[in-house]
Amino acid sequence: MADNIKLSSMLGICRKAGKLLIGHDAVMDCIVQKKAYLVILAADCSDRLKNETEITINRSGARVQALSLALSKEEIGLAIGKNAAVLAVTDRNLASRLTELFGEDS
């Protein structure tokens, strides 16, 4: 529970800093343009979205990590103000911090 609160706070910080892209199209474009450092998937996102994200990352040749979270789309929505199944972090330091804190769970 405490980890979910910390994670929600970190996502809120990313959003307020303007370093978080939200939604399928924005995230896929960001991956292709190699601007994403971390892609975050909600716990309840579809298998199709997971597969498409993985394929897009592999085809683009981008060095981006995908992280599946324990948060649902609704919980992500509470943290960032919009329900979303997929997010992209475009700041290297914020992505590193999120991976450091929550990457071992994926």
Q: pLDDT digit string (tens) for 33-76?
A: 999 999 999 999 999 999 999 999 999 998 999 999 888 999 99
pLDDT: is 62 or 103 the higher one? 62
Superfamily of domain 2-105: Ribosomal protein L30/S12 (3.30.1330.30)
- The predicted pLDDT at position 104 comes to 56
> How does residue 2 score in pLDDT terms, banded at 50, 70 and 90?
low
Instruction: Give 14-23 pLDDT, tens digit per residue.
Output: 999 999 999 9
Contact (Cβ atoms closer than 8 angstroms) between residue 102 and residue 76: no
- Residue 10 exposure: Cα atoms within 13 Å on the Cβ side: 22
- What gap in Å lies between CA 41 and CA 45, rounded to an integer? 7
Contact (CB, 8 A) for 11 and 88: no
